[in-house]
């Protein structure tokens, strides 16, 4: 028999407590993500995996927004974020700050996420990472891909070319979050 736990039994921190906790060394970059619901989901998933912050770029909407809030469920208040007009500008800033930049995109020579799942690859300790997720139709801009240190690809076996960006964020942050 299983009993669902109440939210009060989950032991989750309050927003102010959360903001003081150590974060994963991962920054999420949203490259021209058009759906505010996907942006809200990115906030909620980033909160779940304690991502360091989100950088919203280009046409990506910013809080406050009722649509973002609807899927973020308040995570837009717990996760640090900033806005940059240009994804390329954001990537260059993060690289200058010492981040390794990973694009989640189907490219020549992309690395399968399977290599992280099977333990063949892992993030280096004491390094910072920025992970770029792209537009729902066009993916990451080629200009941003050109600045990546490497790209990750999530294997797929169906007829569609890609996953919803919010689903991809969940998969990748789960795989990359140090335990």
Residue count of the chain: 179
Angstrom distance (rounded) from CA 86 to CA 31: 8
- Domain annotation covers residue 163: yes
pLDDT at position 90 over 90: yes
The total number of structural domains that make up the chain = 1
**Three-class DSSP category at 74:** coil
pLDDT of 141 higher than 90: yes
pTM surpassing 0.75? yes
Over residues 16-57, the pLDDT tens digits come to 999 999 999 999 999 999 999 999 999 999 999 999 999 999
Tell me which residue range forms the domain holding 166.
15-176
Give the CA angle between residues 123, 78, 12 to the nearest 5°: 85
DSSP 100: E
**Per the domain annotation, does 7 fall within a domain?**
no
Residue found by looking up tokens 């909620």 in the block: 44
Residue 10 lies in a domain: no
Q: Give a yes or no: residue 3 inside a domain.
A: no
CATH number at residue 22: 3.40.1280.10
Q: Which of 61, 58, 60, 56 is nearest to 33 (CA)?
A: 60
């Amino acid at each position: 028999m299983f009993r669902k736990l109440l939210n009060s039994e989950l032991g989750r921190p309050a927003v102010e407590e959360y903001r003081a906790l150590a974060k994963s060394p991962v920054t999420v970059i949203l490259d021209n993500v058009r759906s505010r619901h996907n942006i809200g989901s990115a906030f909620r998933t980033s909160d779940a995996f304690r991502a360091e912050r989100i950088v919203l770029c280009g046409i990506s909407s910013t809080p406050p927004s009722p649509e973002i809030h609807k899927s973020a469920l308040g995570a837009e208040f717990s996760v640090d974020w900033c806005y940059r007009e240009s994804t390329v500008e954001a990537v260059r800033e993060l690289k200058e700050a010492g981040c390794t930049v990973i694009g989640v995109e189907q490219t020549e020579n992309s690395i399968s996420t399977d290599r992280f799942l099977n333990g063949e690859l892992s993030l280096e300790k004491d390094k910072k990472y920025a992970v770029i997720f792209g537009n729902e139709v066009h993916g990451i801009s080629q200009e941003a891909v050109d600045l990546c240190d490497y790209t990750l690809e999530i294997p797929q076996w169906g007829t569609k070319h890609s996953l919803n960006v919010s689903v991809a964020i969940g998969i990748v942050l789960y795989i990359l979050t140090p335990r």
